[in-house]
Structure 1
Amino acid sequence: MLTPLAAAILWPATADAAPLPFGSTHSELGQLAVSLGLVLVTTATTYVFARARIRATEREAELRGTIAQLQSRLDRSEALLSAEPQIIATFGHGEELEVTGALPTTTGVPGGRRALGFGAWLGPEEAARVEQLVDTLRERGEGFDTSVPTRRGGYVALDGRAVGGRAVVRIRSLEGERLTIAELEARQHATQAQLAGLKALLDGVPQPAWMRDAEGKLSWVNAAYVRSVEAVDADAAVAAGMELFDTTVREKAGAAAATGGGVFRYKTPAIAAGERHVFDIHEIRQGSGRAGLAVDVTDLEDMRTDLSRRVASHRKTLDELTTGVAIFRSDGRLAFHNHAFRQLWRLDSMFLQQEPTDSAILDRLRAEEALPEPSNYREWKAQLQEAYRSVEPREHWWHLPDSRTMRVVQTPNPEGGVTYLFDDVSERIDLESRYNAMIRVQRETLDNLRDGVAVFGSDGRLRLYNPVFAQMWKLPATELSASPHARRIFSLCRVLHQPPEPWEMLTTAVTAMQESRLPVSGRIERADGASIDIASVPMPDGATIVTFSDVSAGVAMERALKDRNEALEAADRLKNAFVKHVSYELRSPLTNIIGFTELLADPSTGPLTTRQREYAGHILESSASLYTIINDILDLATIDAGAMELELSRVDVRSAVQSAVEGVRGRLAGAGLTLEISIPAGAGSFVADENRVRQVLFNLLSNAIGFSPEGGKVSLVVGRNNDCMTFTVSDNGPGIPAEVIEKVFDRFESHTEGSRHRGVGLGLSIVRSFVELHGGKVWIDPSQGQGTRITCTLPLDAGAARLAAE
């Protein structure tokens, strides 16, 4: 095909051409035109091939770009597939199989082709199901998406798809929400299986069972229920709402579920399969609905009715007997008693009508002294009640306090419980019963004593002993059963205690003549460390009782208490010595601290900033408090050592009180407290250590200030009588509990609850020590909640009081 330009050039050479210009001939022009046409054709052809080559080059570049893009997308796809732990299996045509990827070893899934051996890492059922899904995918192209549990307890997801004529199976490990969903699905399947099994079980039981929804309507019934209401099937019974029980019973069950208990049990008759039956209904709340089961107890009720008639007949017969009869149920309560039983024990009819237990009846009879008097009543009663667990009758002989003898037979009942039969046989065995009772009491008394007892006859031979005696001295039963002489017994005892003195003393006490026998006593220390107290008591009939009491525990406790007391005294001495030494060692550096601090605070030393002066003031205050504490400790240590000497002089009462008040005036102002002082006109003076008196008053006022509320009141009342001065300090603080009053004067006891007071607990201890050193007394009046009042008395002449005390 020619280009337009070539067509335009060649067009004049065609037929019907116009005349040639310039007088040229047609042949020349024709040749020229042919030459020009060939040139033009060649040029056009070259142009066409050049354009085609250019287009091919552009198409090749475009294809290369597309291939690069596809390769990039393929690389990204492979990177994405490799980023997630998974196994991809591709089934091609025929037997072609490609497996790539791997899962963590914790999943239990092997890598490579072994991953398709599902039986190696899945359970049998799950492996069979997965293999079936893979076969269906390969044969029919049906995809699947499921999750399965592994043998190691984890979960994996299996996804199968048909892609490009190939079957692709992808295995991934589940995590996060997908794992939770898989576990929930597995739990749901298990729950559904359990529910199906439970429903199948209920369908097989002969008792009607049902389930109701939140509105109380039937939602499911079992086969027995269908038979009872004579329905076609379970669905028909539910759809028709065929009820087995009447409305009243259903309303009661609904009320029981609504009250919160959720459990309903009721026995009622109903028509089931056209016949009257008695059902024991059990219904419980289940979620928003209820589930119930009805047990047919018709035969049981018939048997109970027949049994009731028989029991009534038997009771009428038993009521005519002279033997006392009491029948107790399995729970121990009285089910029946005849007239003879009530008359025999003189029991009140109202009491017996309350169906008391046999234990309650025995306790009442014991309180009325109508029972035997065993040495151990609890053990005796427990032995009686063992009949409830026995299968054989038991016979007892009771010797009562009113001289009656009772033959008691306990017969276990087949349905549970015990029947008691009481026969009064007093006239027949009165004398024998008294003798046996005395022997049993004697034996039981000896056997239950904590001390070893041996009774020797007038001939010196062993007549009676208790087990404690044999155990204490490790005596063989074969020796004791032969009634050996006292010398033989005591020679065996010498194995544990060799010295002969106590045994010779006991032998003499046992074998001496009646007129010369005297009680003896003593204590021996055995070789095994035991301490035994021995004593002998002569009896009027010529026998001798020898007792052996093991007092090892008491002796050991006594020794331990003595050792502990000595250790405490030593520790107290060590503590006092330590406190005294440390206090002396602290006083010197503390004096230096106070001196240098006062020197720093003195303006002549140099100017200080406001904060520095404030810090110096705090140091002085703290040092003064510490100095006071050290002085108190030293004073207490001096008093404990007995080295405190009072500097006695004539003390003016008003001056001493004023000095003590000056010391606490700053604290009074800081706490906003009011101080009331009452000193009688005739207070005068008395003989005492003035410094110690001021210290006592200062500590009492400080204690009252510390326990007084802001804006409160503290009072100091001074009194004088013929032989002493009285100082009473009161506050209106919280008071001191009665149980704490005895401890407040102890050292280092500080009870600061409910107050601003803080201290080491030496103030009141110092008060008591100084007051007692003067020969006076101090006490606290118990008035909890109404403040505290402390009173101390000092003799008018402390010197005379100390001389009288010495």
Structure 2
Amino acid sequence: MELSPLILAIIGLVLAAWAAGAAVMMIRASKKTRRTKALQTSLKRMQRMMDMAPAIPMLVRVDGRIEAPERLARWLGLEAMPNYLSELAAEDEDAGHQGLSDAQVKTLSEKVRLTQKSAAPFQIAITPPGSGRSLALQGALADPQVSPGGAALVWVFDFTESQDELSLMRQAASQAESDFAALVGLIEAAPVPMWFRGRDMRLQLVNQAYVDAVDAEDAAAVIEGQIELLEAEDGKSPAQQARGVFEALEQKERVTTATLHGERRTLRVSNQPLGKEGVTGYAIDIEEQQQVLREFRAFREAQREMLDQLSVGVAQFNDAEELTFANQPFRRLFELPDGAVRENIRFDRFLSEAREKGLTPEVRDFPEWRREHAAWFDSADMQEEAWPLAGGVHLRIVAQPLPDGGIVLVAEDQTESLALSATRDTLLRTRTATLDSLFEALAIFAPDGSVQLWNRSFAGTWGLSSEFLDTHPSADALLEAIGKNLSKPSETRRIGAVVRAATLDRTEKEGRVQLSDGRSLRFAGVPLPDGNGLLTVLDITDSQKAEQALRERAVALEEADAVKARFLANMSYEFRTPLTTIGGYAELLKSGAAGEIGDGAGEYVDSILTAVARLTEQVENVLDLSQSEAGLLPITKEDADLLTFLTKLVRERETAIIKAQLGLDLKGKRGRKVEIDARQLGRAVGNLLDNAINGTPPDGHILIEILKSDPEGEWRTSFVISDNGAGMASDELERALDGGRSTEDGDNEKRTGLGIPLARQLIAAHGGLLEITSEEGVGTTAVIHLP
């Protein structure tokens, strides 16, 4: 039987569809198989995790049936987990560790039943009979996904180790309480104030001695009121000081004062940290000891201070022949080092070192001499010797025995007293020579007014005779003799007042008098430390004449300045008026107002106008320079943009720059504000720019650059004008700065004019500075600084 092509096609399609369906079924089955394997692996993992977890779950259903791992049975001492909660009880409680007791099962059942009814969680702790294991049970209503019938889920924890530790802690706490009670009894019975502070440094325990010391009712009142026994020191309260001990974990003792029983006492306070629990402390009254120590120290210090004030050297040696004290004269006399007293050098060493310094007499057998003097410690009598030393020094040595076996060694330097009389004569002669060599005239008056001493110039200055001063006249007699030489004899009262102020009032005073011969004298009285008064006299005639000459010169200068100002005012008019007239008539001629003029005459007129403009500019420069030097140039400052200001000056000279075939660069940024008089500063900068244009050959270059400001510099704004022209030598630059001739070329003299000096004056009038440097063949650079 032959099949038609249509039937064959249909059969092929059915087979293809069947094959595709089979493939889809196989893929889905493979995915379900992998999912099942993954789920089984996850369940095994979760089961393993549950087995290793520190807590074991137990599900208790409403009918009392339980579900739990076998591990819980081992914790309870059972061979296998029972089916019901009531079967957790041991069948025979005397059989050892086999489940829970009836009471424990009953308690657990009640807790579970209450949770199943009210969903209230519970926590209980049990220890199975005959077991050392402690279990904690935490129960709650199970999630519906775990058990939808209202079952309770109980988690069982093993806290045996925590329970053991807790037991040990209870025992330690009991022992600590016992020890603390004994310590409290000891502290309470202590005769000195004692206290204990907790971690917060508050008083928690004080003994009865503390309560009595602060005059409180009882310990409870002290703790409640936090009554401190001690006072704050260096801005720190007793609690803060205890805090420092607690943090450093180091015992600290100090001596302080406090009020005990209404009296001020000295206490030795000790603070001892007690680990992390707090700080304990006690205070011992050492007032009696401190009083004795203070008295002894005060006596010793007073004695040593008194000995330091003596002019003789005093040293003390103890019974061990060691140096314990030496006053300053003794240390200075025997050149003892600073550490000699601290080192307690022995007496024999002291003698040996003194011999090396040449401070002992020269003897033939020094060791024997030293032994003889060491025997002073065994003698009960005072010893006295004279020690003649090299260089003419003479010492008197006295050794005074002390009751404790030591000695006091007294050394007196008698060298000065022996040479005092000779020195006195030398000093008197030196004083007389010194006074006679002074330029001023001097006289010393005693408190009674008599003249005690004078120098050679005193008699000549006042016109007195030496024989008169040799009589040591009184102040009245001296003033009477001086009055004869004064232009006004009544002025002697002023001299007498100065002498009286120096001798009696002990104050300084001065004055001036005029002598009849025209001399001017200035005198002053100075009190001297010995009660006398010093009168100094100085001839100021020459200085008076010089002062008068200076005054006359100052008046002349003021008159010259006034004449100069009037001259400038007149010349400003006299110069400008003829120039204006000449320029006006020349312009009329050029315009043809007087008739037509020829080409030759026109050139002459143009030359006249050019010369008038040049002369007008020079006149303006001269007048402005003169006014600037006289300080009369008016300056009106306004804020201006520096780049715009410089650009305007360059634009005004654009034709001259192009005609001279020069290049010019202007560099800078807008926004740099300066306070200037645009007209006057424009003339100064214009003159510098004109000089640069005139002094630069064709194809040369001119640079104008605004410099960056330096915040730490002296000047706020600076800019440079430089060219690469011919430049000038140092002497030419110096003459240019003065407006003189700079160079000479044959018979033609080239002058810079007054442009540079005027520019410098105008910049200075703005409070600025002009710096010009030039090098021949290289060019010229001008730097303008503005404030």
TM-score (norm 2): 0.39
Give the alignment's TM-score, normalised by structure 1.
0.38
